[in-house]
Amino acid sequence: MCNHASADHRGDIGMETAELTRCFLLCNTEGVDVHIHVVGDRSFRTACDAVEAARNELAATGDAWRIQVTLAHCELVDPADMHRPAELGIIVNWTTHWSGAYFGEAAKKHLGDERWDRMYRFNEIAESGALLTFSSDVVTSYELHRSNPLFGMQVAATRVDPDTRSPPACIRVALGQRRTPGFPVSCCWPDTRSTAPSNCVWRTRSGHWRLERSRICAF
């Protein structure tokens, strides 16, 4: 969203449901997995709708769904859609180091307080049984330190960005509700199809992170 956008502008989207459904069907035919970057609740719902439509079309013709769809970032998800990744077999790839208000509060003007306060909520998605993976989306040298998996884990657990130390009030207030004690959230190697990856990150009830099977731990 840009400052020059009109008051009723809701952002742009790369593909609507019908076009994205056709893309999924083509990728399924060719055996190509799909990784999509989504930010807002509209794009998240559109992607879920397209996966559902493609799977239903294949089921109607007796064909199999053979590909893995991953949705990256997912900064804002409507509560009504949080159960859908588990039902549709979609991997949600969480950019954890963004979750401490890395981008400031500029989006609040466009989203409004209610939707702003729902950003970076992944508990409901996890509790529904979806597979979550972690990644950084770091593409610049000055952000390189933020690609450290332990950096991302720390921000995911505390919702405090070590580089700024000043999360907005909505994140501080909701911190206790946004943790997922004892839930295996996958990763170090995002987009894995295995439900029991070789390197598995757990949020333990004692409040510590542990990287299983690799002898790297953060307490």
Question: Is 62 inside a domain boundary?
Answer: no
How many domains is the chain partitioned into structurally?
1
Q: How far is CA 128 from CA 53, 79, 122, 123, in A?
A: 21, 12, 10, 9
Which H or E run includes 123? helix 123-127
Question: Is 207 inside a domain boundary?
Answer: yes
Candidates 112, 113, 131; CA nearest to 122 is 131
CATH code for the domain of 181 = 3.20.20.140
Question: Is 57 inside a domain boundary?
Answer: no
In the block, residue with structure tokens 């079309």: 57
* Sites in the chain below the pLDDT cut of 70: 1-10, 165-219
Candidates 126, 128, 67; CA nearest to 96 is 126
Question: Is 43 inside a domain boundary?
Answer: no
- Asked whether the beta carbons of 184 and 213 are under 8 A apart, the reply is no
Question: Is 178 inside a domain boundary?
Answer: yes
Host domain of residue 173: 69-218
Q: What was the pLDDT predicted at 108?
A: 83
Instruction: Dump pLDDT digits (tens) for 86-138.
Output: 999 999 999 999 988 888 888 888 888 888 888 999 989 999 999 999 889 99
Three-point CA angle 63, 69, 214, nearest 5° = 125
